[in-house]
Every structure is written in C-alpha cells, then in structure tokens.
Amino acid sequence: MALNDADFGLQGSSIIKEWTGQVQPALMASFIILFFMEAWLWVRNLTFKRRLPGPFAWPVVGNAMQLGQMPHITFSKLAKKYGNVYQIRLGCSDIVVLNGDAAIRQALIQHGTEFAGRPDFVSFRMISGGRSMTFSNYSKQWKMHRRVAQSTLRAFSSANSKTKKAFEQHVAGEAMDLVQIFLRLSVDGRYFNPSHELTVAAANVICALCFGKRYGHDDPEFRTLLGRVNKFGETVGAGSLVDVMPWLQCFPNPVRSVYRNFKNLNEEFFAYVKDKVVQHRDTYDPRVTRDISDAIIGVIEHGKDSTLTLSKDYVEGTVTDLIGAGQDTVSTALHWMLLLLVKYPSIQSKLQEHIDKAVGRDRLPSMEDKKALAYLDAFIYETMRYTSFVPVTIPHSTTSDVTIEGVHIPKDTVVFINQWSVNRDPEKWRDPHVFDPSRFLDENGDLDKDLTNDVMIFSTGKRRCIGEQIAKVEIFLVSAILLHQCSFESHASQDLSLDCSYGLTLKPLHFTITAKLRGKLLGVVSPA
C-alpha cells in the first residue's frame, strides 16, 4: 500500500534530528550488513530457485520502487510484458500478481479454495482482536465464522423482512440529513467539498445497522469513532509495508512510527465495539432482533447449532469488520458518483428525468422502485467499473500448490488481485476508458444482469465481500434520494480531474459542488 507524505505528519523533523546523531552510523552499518545478506539471498534465488515470469527485482527493496503512485496501473502495464500471472518482489517477499478477467476468475472461482488464504502478516493478526473474518486465514473456524456472518447479514437484505425495512429506513433518514446539510452548505451559492459529510453519513448507516442507532453528526462519541476508522485506513498500509519489509522497524523512519501506533489503534477501536456489544448482551431479547449485533449474538451465543465452536468474542470481531469496511466502500462510491454527476450534467439530468417518471415528485424513492430505475442502477455499476475504486483486494495467499494459465504457484505464496485490470479489460469492455452508463442496458432499456456481474469491486469467490448486498442497497437508495431532491453543480472554473489518491480505496482529489433543491423538501415516512 502506498503512503502519502502527509500521513507522516510532523514526525519528519524529529526523525532528521535523531538521524544526524548517534543513530546514523549504526544504521549505515546495519544497512550494509542487511544489503549483503539480501544480495546473497537474491543471488541464491537466481541460481537455485525456479523464478516465475516477472520484472528484475533489486536486493533489499525488490520491485517496491518500480510500483509508483498507482500500483494497479503498473501491474496492468507489467502484464502486457510478462502475462496475466507474474511475480514481483517486495522486500523479502515474493508476490504473485493476477491480472485480467480470465486469470482472476479462474483463480478465485475455479480454484477458490486454493486462493482463499490470507498471508500470516503480523498486522493482520492485530485487527478485530485477532477475530477478524476479513483478515484471518482460511480454516474450518473461518468457514464457520463466515457462514454465521452471511446468514445474519442475509436478513438485512432479504425481501419483506422487518430488519430489512428498518435498515432501509435508517438509510433514507441519513440520505435526507445529507440533503439538508448540502442545502445549508450551499446557501448564497457557496461551494463545498462533500467528502467529510459522505464519510459521516456512511459511517452513521453502518452504526445503525450494527448498533440500531444513528448518531448526530456532531456527537462526540461518533466523531471519536470516525477518527479511529479514518486512522485505520492510514495505518494499515504501513502495517503491510512492515510485514513484507521487516527491516523498516530497525531504524527511525515514518513507516515505523505509524506502524507502532497500529496496535494501539486496533485495541482502541475493538474496545469501542466491545463496549457496544456488551450493552447488547445485557439487554438481549431473543424475541426481538434490533440490529446486526443482536443477530450475531443470537447465533453464536444462543444458537442451537451444536457444530458451532465459535467463542463469543467472534461477535465483536464480526461487528468490527463490518464497521471498518462498510463506511469506506460506500462513502467512496458516493464521492465518485457526485463527481461524475457534476462532470457529466447531461447524465445527471437524464437520471433525474428517469427518477421523476418512475417515482413522481410527491414522495421519496424507495427500494420498491428499483426495478423501474434501471438507468440509475446502470449509472451505479458504471461508476464502480469506471473508477474501480477498490483497485487491489486485500492480499490473498495460496493454501496449496496451484497452476493458473500455465504458471505454477507454490503453496503459501502471497497473491495480489488486480481488480482494476478486470474493470478496464479491453477484451471484456467496449471502450473501457469511456464513462457510459448505457453499456449496462439491453435493447429494451432493462439492466443487463450478466454484464453487471462482470464488474469486480467486491471481489469474488470464497473471499467475496459478504456485505456486498447491504452496500448496494445503501448506495442505490442514497443516490436515488439525493438526485430526487437536489441538482448538483460545480464551479465553471473548476477542473474536474478524475485523478485520485491511492490507499485502501481510490479517492477523488479535492473538488467542490453546490446543491439546489428540486421542488419541495420531502420527509421520510416511518414504516407502519
């Protein structure tokens, strides 16, 4: 994962002072010894180890310096030279990179078990109190954990369930809060950056899903939670760097400093979630499922499945995973959608006409309108495909030897999955560099579901994101309500660049918009 200079804060000045003192001579000696040890291993690998196709790797750093600011694009360029399955080296770790729709689906679907592992990274063990489903390795325990999480989440996205309706009500309420905030920030024609408000809204929805409660945007406890979630995104990259380059811990540098905070951050975040889950245990009623926490407590702690051997701290682990992942994915998707709406005003107008025709002006859109809003769905899928804002999945590892497209990959190999290459694959998509929502509509104007399945943003196979359906409900409903209630514009002088910053997700660079009310401001109708 790439880190920006800004992530390092004011640590640089103190590091320089320490560097110029007694640390520098010892560091240089250690580095020289390390260099020759690594060089010996490098030569040995060239001589004795059959190397997979891939670029030349330097001692100590491997190919780290070649990846640039956008590794997913570099991976795609390397695939043109070395094929869709090749090897790079980061520090002391050999890593296989998979590119292209055919190779990735062959690996994750046809050989799903062989690619279902996670690397044994120290940073992964720190997350969710060591009970993370997302970051833990493939095992019988992991399969049980995933089955529990899937079954409980299904209730919040299955048709006609009370929990589903309650969740959609939370989403609609948050969307209308966003409308009012956007209008307030746009008074007298002012322009604002929507990034923070979208982050707050997405985090609030996932908290409502997990804890049955939406917070006020200025609630101190909620702001503390948001700060921890944001810091997680900043520090997980440093953790990954140290996992593959452990020598970064041997001398003062910004990555080491961030990494040392990683454990404390995870402990604080996990403690926050644990406190909420304990409150749920104390007030648990098997006759009423208030939220995800109740549902998971019911299965793990009060369920009748005698084969289930998960301890109760897996409840906290699952909830922590959902909060950490849910808000970032949804807020980033909405962020890109707003940028594309103001960049392509003709598409925005067409979407609004589409929604007005299907819904009318006297009520807000709901999930019941989804079948009649194919063009909005197409816009959402094209946003996910075009931006591919989750460019590379969390690293996988192989659980056994496996061969993909004629390339043999040994057991316990770290694997990077380049989702960006799937969404921009010219063999799969017509004019992949063009933003065109209509590509997802058939000749009758209906959504082409086969084509939507080709978009890869939530991964696929055994590690496919279990919160995918929940996220899609939230993205659809929020975007429908925002477009129904508001029109969005950017300043005429603003260059709406599609450049982005690289991290756990690709985020648009700074841009500003203004919002204008379309007709009358509507309220959210409470369910019967």
DSSP states of 387-444: H-SS-BPSPEE-SS-EEETTEEE-TT-EEEEBHHHHHT-TTTSSSTTS--GGGGB-TT
* In contact, 351 and 375? CB cutoff 8 Å: yes
* Residue 488 pLDDT: 98
Kindly give, in sequence order, each residue whose CB lies less than 8 Å from that of residue 423, ignoring residues fewer than 6 positions away.
Answer: 384, 385, 386, 388, 429, 432, 455, 456, 457
Amino acid residing at 91: G
CA distance 311 to 301: 8
Q: Strands 414-417 and 486-489, how do they pair?
A: unpaired
HSE, side-chain direction, 13 A CA sphere, residue 228: 22
Buried residues in 430-440 as b, exposed as e (16+ CB within 10 A): eeeeebbbebb
> Token pair for residue 65?
């310096």
* Residue 139 pLDDT: 92
- Hey, which residues does 306 pair with through a beta bridge? none
Give residue limits of the domains in the chain.
Answer: 5-517
Place of tokens 């944001």: 230
* Residue 84 pLDDT: 97
Amino acid residing at 35: F
Place of tokens 């454990």: 263
Strand order in the sheet with 414-417: 85-90, 93-98, 414-417, 396-397
HSE, side-chain direction, 13 A CA sphere, residue 132: 28
E-strand stretches of 195-301: none
> Token pair for residue 15?
């590091």
Amino acid residing at 283: T
Is 250 annotated in a binding site? The answer is no
Kindly give, in sequence order, each residue whose CB lies less than 8 Å from that of residue 18, ignoring residues fewer than 6 positions away.
Answer: 252
Tens place of pLDDT per residue across the chain (528 aa): 333 333 323 233 332 233 233 334 444 544 554 555 555 555 545 543 557 899 998 887 889 889 888 999 999 999 999 999 999 998 878 999 999 999 999 999 999 999 999 998 877 887 777 788 888 999 998 999 998 888 888 877 765 667 788 888 889 999 999 999 999 999 999 999 999 899 889 988 988 889 888 777 777 777 777 776 666 665 555 446 667 776 666 666 666 666 677 777 778 888 888 899 999 999 999 988 888 999 899 989 988 876 778 888 889 988 888 887 777 899 999 999 999 999 999 999 999 999 999 999 999 999 999 999 999 999 999 999 999 999 999 999 999 999 999 999 999 999 999 999 999 999 899 999 999 999 999 999 999 999 999 999 999 999 999 889 899 999 999 999 999 999 999 998 898 988 988 877 899 999 999 999 998 888 765 543
pTM of the model: 0.87
Kindly give, in sequence order, each residue whose CB lies less than 8 Å from that of residue 34, ignoring residues fewer than 6 positions away.
Answer: 60, 247, 250
Sign of CA dihedral 255, 260, 265, 267: positive
CA distance 483 to 355: 8
On the 0-12 / 13-18 / 19+ scale of CB atoms within 10 A, 358 is: middle
CA distance 18 to 20: 6
| 5-517: CATH, from 1.10.630.10, 1.10.3720.10, 3.30.40.10, 3.20.20.70 | 1.10.630.10
